[in-house]
Each structure stands twice: as structure tokens, then as C-alpha cells.
Chains A and B, each alone.
Chain A
Amino acid sequence: MRSDRGQRAPLGLKIAAACGLLFLHLPILLIFVYAFTTEEKSFVWPPPGLTTQWFAVTWNRPDVWDALSLSVRVAAISTAIALVLGTLCAAAVSQTRFFGREAISLLVILPIALPGIITGIALRSAFSLADIPFSFWTIVLGHATFCVVVVYNNAVARFRRTSGSMIEASMDLGADGFQTFRHVVLPNIATALLAGGMLAFALSFDEVIVTTFTAGQQQTVPIWMLEELIRPRQRPVTNVVAMVVVLVTLLPILFAYYLTRDGDQIAGSGK
């Protein structure tokens, strides 16, 4: 809009844009509305009445808390693993030259390019081949495969914009490897890591496909929701949880978006 010098868009275009946005976001608002409905067996429109009792009911359901806590723990640990491995990998690929460098950067990105179902089946057969029982750690492993990609992508882009001689300058001034990482590398990639980490957390939190193959009998939040929809019982509870999930994933993504946007100035100012 800014480029056409304050000219107003034609009415038709405005209506089309509004319809597009409504189409995208109205279903999400519906989910919020159903969290307050008095009808618990099925979703009827309009809601026969409005109540906030489902928040209390949800609060007292132990299965909700189990699923939420599992999801948060899995997302936190997967993100932590991804932060370490993704950063190391990005550093290796962008700072050094070695045989197979291009192949490695492709292989790292592959898990997110492959359909999740392939990753899921592959992991499941690998686990059963190795006789590894399903546990918290098998879910973490599955999630880490795609969390690493997100962190790697963010970190590698930042490393590319960071001058390589800065690390040499730090060593030259008397800083050993650890001090250089702490005082020069980390401050320069911190916002990229924060953004990558938040995206990874959000991805892990609502992941379904890989989780179904690696979770066994455990339920993360998305899996618990699917089960709830199949066996209806206090249906609006699902909507309450859905609201929480939307907020939990949306806020970090928004935050990450603003961080990487500002990051351009931070990384580019040294050149």
C-alpha cells in the first residue's frame, strides 16, 4: 500500500482481502467460542449458552496436565539438544572447508523436507530393530531431528553474515577458544539462536505425525486432542486446551519474528 503513494485500494480488493483473512482465521475464532459453550456432546451452532465452567473442569483433569507436561518437557529438551547440535553444525559448515561440506548441509535440512511420516516410520523401525522401548527419550529423539534443522538454518544464516576475521581478531587479542565463544561468537549469534530455539519449541509442541510413531502409549498435547475428538466426553475441554496451545505457540513465534527482524541491524553493523 505504501508504494502507491497513498492511493486508496479499490473496494473490491479490500473485500477480497477481508474474505481471505476471515477464511484463514474464523475457524480459529470458532474454536475459542466453543470453549465457552454449554453443549458438551457435540459442537452446535449457535452455542445454546455460554459458560466458563470448562476452564475449571480442564484444570481438574489429570490427563490434561500429563499431556501438557509431557509436551513441554519434550519440547524443552528437544530444543536444548537442537540448540547445541544445530549451532555446532552451523559453525562447522560456515567456518571451515572440508570434504562433504555441501552434503552435510543438505542432510541436515532433509528431515524437514521429507514428509514427517517417512521420518516417523524410519525412526520407529530403527527403534524396533535396536530393541529400544518407547519412552520419553524416543519422542525427544524424533522431535530433535526437525528441531535441529530450524536452529541450524537460523544459525548458519547469521554465521554467514559474521566476519570470519572477528574470531581471529579475538584470538589475536589473547582470548582462547572458550573466551572467544563466550565474548564474541555467542553475542553475535544470540538473537538467531533465540529465534531458532523458539521456532523449534513451537514446532515440537504441536507435532503429531512423528510423535505417533515414536510415542508408544504416551500422549503429548496434540495426540491427546486427537483421542478426545474420537471419544467425545466433555468436548469443550479440548477447545480450552486448544486455546492454550494457540497462545503457547503463537507468542514465541511472534517474538522470534521480531527478534530476527531486528537482528539484521545487529549483525550487519560491523561491516
Chain B
Amino acid sequence: MTSAVSFKQVSRHFGSVRAVDAVDLEIAPGEFFAMLGPSGSGKTTCLRLIAGFEQPTAGSISIFGERAEGVPPYRRNVNTVFQDYALFPHLNVLDNVAYGLMVKGVGKASRLKAAEEALSLVRLPGYGARRPGQLSGGQRQRVALARALVNQPKVLLLDEPLGALDLKLRENMQEELKSLQKALGITFVFVTHDQGEALSMADRVAVFNDGRIMQVGTPEDIYQRPNTRFVADFVGSSNVLPPDFVQRYSGQHRWGSLRPESIRVSSATSGDGVAARLVGTNYLGATTRLAFDAEGLRLHAVVPAGTALPAEGGAVMLTFNRDSLHLMDEPA
């Protein structure tokens, strides 16, 4: 099966800056794919390489088996939802949505009909006559989505699509995007720096750092079995354990990771476990996040709200299941 998007040793350098460095990537057709990483990690450049706004310095990109290097954005069957939506202020909503069909020469009646259908798809029927300036942020986002989808792209690119929305709207849009993607069966590639968003929406996630992909996998893979210290730390803030520490519990001299929620806290002062001192508590609503100091090693644990807690500075014993200690591939 041909991949929807395929990167082979793709690099994009800006002078001495390696924004994207020798990246290999295969995105399957119909997949909801997330590119996750901190700012400046190369994820947005990768998106712009797929859209055609950037050309690779080296390597090859293909979209559904067709070579993409040198093909301008307007000849790619790929559409983008921009971070700032980039709606055209001089056109009303309907003409905005119909723009792609208009420049392709589709007749007025049929393109406006298609645009109206796309607006119903994003649940904004009847908003066609308004100007983008009269819409709220969430509505503009939907218009941008409709404007991209009306062209029936093979791949839809979303650049931090929910970044500008408030929390409530963001949660609604997450569900809606996901069900839209399922219904349409279009390959979605979206860029985000929010690990929660990536984990909850995507079928697979690629974690970027310094222009390289650190790990590609299902959200569960990435979360439960990070392969490097960076992934463990960036995705859900795992405890990264140094090789010496790991050796005591697993017998192997390797870097390990331990999810904060798999640590149990007991106030016993002796017995099996890691002796530690509570140095900070962070109330998060449903859970409480605790910071411990274990002989110089900083460990975090997440416990359900309402758990009896020792006083700050108090000595505790931390225990965890051996199975939940994950050994990483990164060399010690």
C-alpha cells in the first residue's frame, strides 16, 4: 500500500540551522497523525514541506506515491488549516469557502452549493453572508476547516488548529475534528505542542526534537514506552531514572522511565521501597501532584485527590510495580 505521505531522509536547512534533519516518515492513508514537539523542533517545517511552502534541502517527499519536490503548493492535492486561519477579510464566509473552487474554474452555482454543504459539515449553515470579522474565534476555525475540506484534499494539514481557542471550545473541537476525520476518511496531519491533544486525538504520534523524530508510535506506545529521556519527559512528564538507579531495581544498567501515577506513597519509614522526602504539592483538581527528593533524585507522583498526605518535608517510602518501570533504548 502506498503511504499518504512519505519522507525519505528529508532535510530542510536554513543556513546553519537544521530545522528538519534527515527525517524518515510514513503516514498511512486515512490516518489521524500528530506531529508533537516543543517550538522550534521542526514539526511545523515538516508540515510546510508537505504543503509545499518549503522545499527540502535534501531527501525526497512523496504524497500518495507522487514525487512532491518542486511541485508548487497550488498543484498539490493537499490543503491546510492555518494557525491564524488566514481567512480573506474582503470576502464573505461563503466566498471564502468557495475560493478554492473558484480559482479552479468551477461555475458559480455549483461552487456556492458545495461551499454551503461544507459549511453545514462544520455546523455553520447559513453563516455564508457574514464577514470573517463578524465571527468568533471558534467560528473562524470552522470556516477555515470548511474552506480546506471543500476541495476534497487527499491530505488535510492542520497547524496548531486549536491553539487560539479557549479550553472548553478546544475540548469540543477535539471531539469534532476526530469524528469529522472518521466520517470523511481523509488523512489528517496535525501539528501541536500540546501532548494531551496529540495523545487524545491521533492514531499515531511522531515526537519531534531538534529537527529529528525521536519516536513514532500509537499514543499508548509513546506514553507507556518512551524510547528516550526526551520523549519520557516531554510526553506526560515521566520520571526519568538514571542507569544506576534503574540497575538496583531491574538489574540492567539502562535509562528508565516511571509514570508519576504508578508511584505509590506510604508513610512507613522502613521496608522495601525508595526513601524520599516530600518537597512540594501541587493541587490539580482531580489529582494532586507531589514532588519528592530521593537522595538527590527528583521524583514526581500523581495521587488521587483526597489521599492522606504527609506534611511537606516529611519522610515517606515510595513503592512501584517492577512492571511499570520502563527501560529506554537510549544508551546509558
Contacts and interface: CB of A to CB of B under 8 A. Distances in A.
B57 to A, nearest CB: 18
A266 interface: yes
A168 B99 contact: no
A175 B103 CA distance: 6
A60 B212 CA distance: 81
A174 B89 contact: no
Closest 7 CB pairs of A and B: A270-B89, A269-B133, A173-B100, A169-B86, A165-B86, A175-B103, A171-B73
B82 interface: yes
Interface string B22-47: 00000000000000000000000000
B205 to A, nearest CB: 24
B86 A176 contact: no
Interface stretch (A80-88, A135-143, A183-191): A183-191
Size category of the A interface is 20 to 34
Contacts of A184: 88
Interface of B: 51-53, 72-75, 78-80, 82-84, 86-90, 99-100, 102-104, 131-133, 147-148, 151
B74 A171 contact: yes
A183 B103 contact: yes
Contacts of B51: 168, 172
A175 B105 CA distance: 10
A264 B72 CA distance: 33
Decide if the interface of chain A is mainly helix, strand, loop or mixed.
helix
A149 interface: no
A134 B188 CA distance: 65
A170 interface: yes
Contact of B89 (A171, A172, A175, A188): A188
Contact of B90 (A168, A172, A173, A188): A188
A267 interface: yes
Contacts of A267: 89
A42 interface: no
B90 A187 contact: yes
A166 interface: yes
B74 A266 contact: no
Contacts of A175: 74, 99, 103
A190 to B, nearest CB: 9
Contact of A172 (B80, B131, B132): B80
A270 B72 contact: no
A172 B77 CA distance: 9
A163 B74 contact: no
Contact of B72 (A166, A171, A268): A171
